[in-house]
Amino acid sequence: MKIHRYLRNVSTLRFYPEKCTGCGRCVEVCPHRLFQIENGRAQLGDRDLCMECGACARNCPFSAIAVRPGVGCAWAIMISELRGGREVASS
């Protein structure tokens, strides 16, 4: 499966590991599999893969994740259009 990477370092995704209990909900809901559970706590992977859908933050019962849904995704699409579709996707 091709992996879509958005613009680098623009994601609003924030993770606060000190609040995480390792319940695993973020692992279940993230369409890009950014989270894994290791040693009883979530570990965040490559933030540039985040499409800011907001599912992880909405489903985290302990407010360990914050994201502004749609901001980075919309920005990436806009920049991609302006640059002829070259900026958004890479493998």
CA 16, CA 33: separation in Å to the nearest integer?
Answer: 17
- Residue 65, token pair as written in the block: 């994740």
CA 33, CA 50: separation in Å to the nearest integer?
Answer: 9
Which of 36, 38, 48, 62 forms a contact with ligand SF4 (CB under 6 A)?
62
Site for ligand SF4 in 4-43 (CB under 6 A): 13, 20-26, 29-32, 34-35, 42
Binding of ligand SF4 by 76 (CB under 6 A): no
CA 78, CA 81: separation in Å to the nearest integer?
Answer: 5
Tell the smallest beta-carbon distance from residue 84 to ligand SF4 (Å): 25
Which of 35, 88 has the CB closer to ligand SF4? 35
